[in-house]
């Protein structure tokens, strides 16, 4: 029993020695990077000396400027003006017209304030009297004679007659209403029909049946507007 334990203990010691022999050897102690620590310290001392020399040459570092969150006065937004009521302004302009004083060519008679500032009831009466004194009636003159045209003058014919429309004045034969309607439809207006009627011998003769009632007025032509223009 004891012999077995000693044999096992010897085997364990042999196994430990074999593993120790197979393990890699520990490398020498080095500093930062791939160089040894003494070289690293020498480089650090050289770098510190160089930085100290540069700081003495450059002088003191200027203080850091403080950043302010305040907006400069010139960049601050100007106060917004209150909104303008366009409708109210337009209504005031319509209710109270402004008198024009810098342009004498434009009348300001529609402005009550402008007229009231310089006119009175007495001045209006005097101005009315002056206008009545200056009034001169113009007498009507006769119509000028037409020249250079051989067409019948229906205006002269209208003024030369005074009988009513539809009153028989001229002798007519029998004609059908359809013939009169068909022939009158060929003219663009009653005036043109009356001119053609007079060119063919009317009002004494009616070759195409344009004036079946014999009043001298063809296709419903009306002389009354011309008579009214003359005042009779």
pLDDT (tens digit, 9 = 90+) per residue, 27-52? Answer: 555 545 556 778 888 888 888 888 88
Q: What are phi and psi of 153, to 5 degrees?
A: -95, 100
DSSP 151-211: S--HHHHHHH--SPTT---S------HHHHHHHHTTSSSHHHHHHHHHHTTTTT--SSSS-
Q: Is the pLDDT of residue 4 over 50?
A: no
Name residue, tokens 């004194």. Answer: 133
Q: What angle do CA 50, 53, 54 make, to 5 degrees?
A: 85
Q: Is the pLDDT of residue 72 over 80?
A: no
Q: How many helices (H) and strands (E) does the chain have?
A: 9, 0
Q: Is the pLDDT of residue 149 over 90?
A: no
Q: Is the pLDDT of residue 85 over 90?
A: no
How far is Cα 215 from Cα 206, in angstroms, rounded to an integer? Answer: 11
Question: How confident is the model over 8-36, as a mean pLDDT?
Answer: 58
pLDDT of residue 88: 60
Quick check: helix, strand or coil at residue 50? Answer: helix
Q: Is the pLDDT of residue 26 over 90?
A: no
pLDDT of residue 129: 92
Q: Is the pLDDT of residue 185 over 90?
A: yes
Q: Is the pLDDT of residue 202 over 90?
A: yes
138 to each of 132, 135, 141, 225, how far by Cα in Å? 14, 10, 9, 23
Instruction: Using CB atoms within 10 Å of the CB of residue 175, give its burial: 0 to 12 exposed, 13 to 18 middle, 19+ buried.
Output: middle
Question: How confident is the model over 108-115, as a mean pLDDT?
Answer: 82
pLDDT of residue 20: 57
Which range of 39-43, 103-107, 117-121, 208-212 scores highest in mean pLDDT? It is 208-212
């Amino acid at each position: 029993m004891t012999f077995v334990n000693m044999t096992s203990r010897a085997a364990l010691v042999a196994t430990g020695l074999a593993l120790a022999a197979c393990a890699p050897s520990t490398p020498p102690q080095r500093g930062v990077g791939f160089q040894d620590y003494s070289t690293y310290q020498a480089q650090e001392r050289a770098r510190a000396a160089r930085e100290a020399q540069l700081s003495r040459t450059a002088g003191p570092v200027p203080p850091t400027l403080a950043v302010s969150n305040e907006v400069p006065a010139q960049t601050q937004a100007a106060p917004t003006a209150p909104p303008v009521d366009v409708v109210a302004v337009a209504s005031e302009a319509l209710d109270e017209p402004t008198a024009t004083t810098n342009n004498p060519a434009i009348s300001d008679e529609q402005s009550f304030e402008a007229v009231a500032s310089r006119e009175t009831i007495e001045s209006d009466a005097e101005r009315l009297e002056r206008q009545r004194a200056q009034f001169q009636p113009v007498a009507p003159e006769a119509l000028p004679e037409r020249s250079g045209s051989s067409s019948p003058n229906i205006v002269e014919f209208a003024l030369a007659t005074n009988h009513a429309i539809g009153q028989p004045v001229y002798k007519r034969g029998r004609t059908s209403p359809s013939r009169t309607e068909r022939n009158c439809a060929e003219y663009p207006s009653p005036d043109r029909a009356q001119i053609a009627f007079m060119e063919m011998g009317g009002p004494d003769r009616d070759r195409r049946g344009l004036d079946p009632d014999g009043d001298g007025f063809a296709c419903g032509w009306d002389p009354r507007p011309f008579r009214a223009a003359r005042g009779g």
